[in-house]
Chain A
């Protein structure tokens, strides 16, 4: 069937950063919406943001306050948010208190009062905050459902986009006939998990819109509500097509082991125990990228950006200048109560800001610790979403992970996330000739060739330096306790072996 002649539903900006993406582009014009949630969950703030984003003197917003929070106190607090523009009052936004009508009369009178004000002002937006407090009298002439039904019909014909705000617990939302009339149902909640508070929102329904399902985290800041979509706002973005471009580590011998470098858009994992040089290698990777004109981002969780840059400087790597030139961002993400979505938002902002091609996450353990406890249980799933989203837009991700050194095992990571990564480089200690030395091996390189050599390396004042050729005179190197084995008799044979692993 042709789409010609079908009605176009215009979308209005929600005024809430991140929410437009979640609701499928914007809020449908003339929709009748309910924002439900417990007290303090951010309902009023969200409604205010919508009002301030859409009200004009020609088509103002009417904000009806009923019982509950005093209108004056509400304005006192709400004006602290940056979106609150006092100049919009009262021409564009009018606050009308209905408490007297509610206290002295019934819902029919409330509807009459709203009708009168709407007819007078011809508003584009109407908010009733909070409609649940209207139900005071059991013998009310008109029950709440009937009131909402009539209000919805009336406001739709007046071409007003409407929000009703109500205090509801989650279990009250199910099978509640009041909500059947609504075009949109927004559920806000906040839960305490251990010592952290996590705020989440869900679009339970939104007629005529392809909203993003599921629970999305949000935060209330000086700028009001900020939502973080589960799809990280990338659902509409063009996916990056894989190519054969190789990204150098700035460590020539390692590049050779990787058959020329890391494939652009790959997710690389550097695993090793403490002090093996994971962060050094990561810094060299980001620094080499900047040298080659590929802006980068380093997300640090365990130390502050200044300390990170100073450590890089001790290796002769200048991270200060590229930061000043807008080629590098070192993100220090506030620990302990983050959601992955929020972290991702910060990273994506930085990616878009500087056009980053490389991203270092140093480290996954620090990242996990920075998350609110409730999100740690889903860390692997969240990491999957994040890596998929970022590599999808062509960003090459290098993550470091600390693994417990074992002399009987050779683990790649403590998170069982090796399937999430395209390439794995393993660093470890070995005991050789009475010294604790370091070896490096490329475990995996998806879709590409890589060396199967085990190479010794050192961390010098110039960073990671791979020494000599592969260690041929030792057996069981990856056990950490190798056995010396004089293989010089097979020297010729080894010299002919290129040591290259084929595509895996």
Chain B
């Protein structure tokens, strides 16, 4: 079962936003890792490391059921993500050979982040989740597309 369109859209927006910022900062980390890390920092402050770690672990389990090639990814004790960079790199290499761009690698990022956001939406609701995202990405816009309540997020 895939993540709902609303969370996929939200994850896609964050990854796109971070990818654009990525180019400006010339970061070596992927957009997925950067989004995840920012969420980790914010959520650890809110819920504690253990609280975030358990959420992240659950999100990863869900993501693995959707994308089995994430099998090697793990959540460390501090909640950080381990092994994603390698998998993304392998996928990029493979796609480079095929000449198909970075679609597969990006898709894995969307799956993982959307699962994490999905859990936040379940537990905190749309308003608090968007509020939290706004605080992390003050420059990003989160419009009301696919919004459950239909109001401006």
- A contact residues vs B (CB 8 Å cutoff): 65, 70-73, 75-76, 79, 86-87, 89-91, 95-100, 103
Contacts and interface: CB of A to CB of B under 8 A. Distances in A.
A86 B124 CA distance: 10
B127 A86 contact: yes
A71 B128 contact: no
Contacts of B128: 75, 79, 86, 89
Interface string B112-153: 000000000001110110011001000000000000000000
A171 B51 CA distance: 33
B123 A71 contact: no
11 contacts: A71-B47, A71-B51, A72-B55, A75-B124, A89-B131, A91-B135, A95-B46, A96-B46, A97-B47, A97-B48, A100-B49
Given A79-B127, A95-B46, 12 more contacts: A70-B47, A71-B46, A71-B47, A72-B124, A76-B125, A86-B127, A97-B45, A97-B51, A99-B48, A99-B49, A100-B44, A100-B48
Nearest to A102: B48
B47 A89 contact: no
B50 interface: yes
Nearest to B119: A72
Nearest to B120: A72
Interface string B20-52: 000000000000000000000000111111110
Contact of B125 (A71, A73, A79, A103): A79
Given A95-B46, A97-B47, A99-B51, A87 B123 contact: no
Describe B's contact surface by its main secondary structure. helix
A325 B124 CA distance: 43
Contact of A86 (B48, B49, B125): B125
A72 B125 contact: no
Contact of B50 (A75, A79, A91, A99): A99
A100 B79 CA distance: 12
A73 B51 CA distance: 10
A103 B51 CA distance: 13
Contacts of A72: 46-47, 51, 55, 123-124
A96 B45 contact: yes
A90 B44 contact: no
A71 B132 CA distance: 14
Contacts of B132: 89-90
Contacts of A73: 123
Contacts of A95: 45-46
Contacts of A70: 47, 51
Contacts, number: 57
Residue from the set A72, A75, A98 with the largest chain B CB neighbour count within 10 Å:
A72
A95 B52 CA distance: 14
A373 B47 CA distance: 41
Q: Please name the 6 residue pairs, one residue from A and one from B, whose CB atoms are nearest each other, closest first.
A: A86-B127, A97-B48, A99-B48, A71-B47, A90-B135, A100-B49
Contacts of A103: 50
A97 B46 contact: yes
Nearest to A90: B135
Contacts of A90: 131-132, 135
A80 to B, nearest CB: 10
A100 B44 CA distance: 9
Interface centre among A86, A87, A98, by most B CB within 10 Å?
A86
A86 B131 CA distance: 7
A100 B51 CA distance: 10
Nearest to B54: A70
Nearest to B43: A72
Interface in B43-84: 44-51, 55
B133 to A, nearest CB: 11
A162 B125 CA distance: 28
Contacts of B50: 99-100, 103
Contacts of B47: 70-72, 97
Contacts of B127: 79, 86-87
Contacts of A91: 135
A215 B50 CA distance: 40
A72 B125 CA distance: 11
B149 to A, nearest CB: 11
B49 to A, nearest CB: 5
A68 to B, nearest CB: 11
A478 to B, nearest CB: 68
Given A76-B124, A86-B125, A71 B131 contact: no
A352 B142 CA distance: 45
Contacts of B123: 72-73, 75-76
A65 B128 CA distance: 17
B44 to A, nearest CB: 7
B3 to A, nearest CB: 19
A89 B125 CA distance: 13
Contacts of B124: 72, 75-76, 79
Nearest to B128: A86
A98 B51 CA distance: 11
B44 A97 contact: yes
Contacts of A99: 48-51
Nearest to B129: A86
A95 B127 CA distance: 16
Contacts of A79: 124-125, 127-128
A163 to B, nearest CB: 19
Contacts of B125: 76, 79, 86
B116 to A, nearest CB: 12
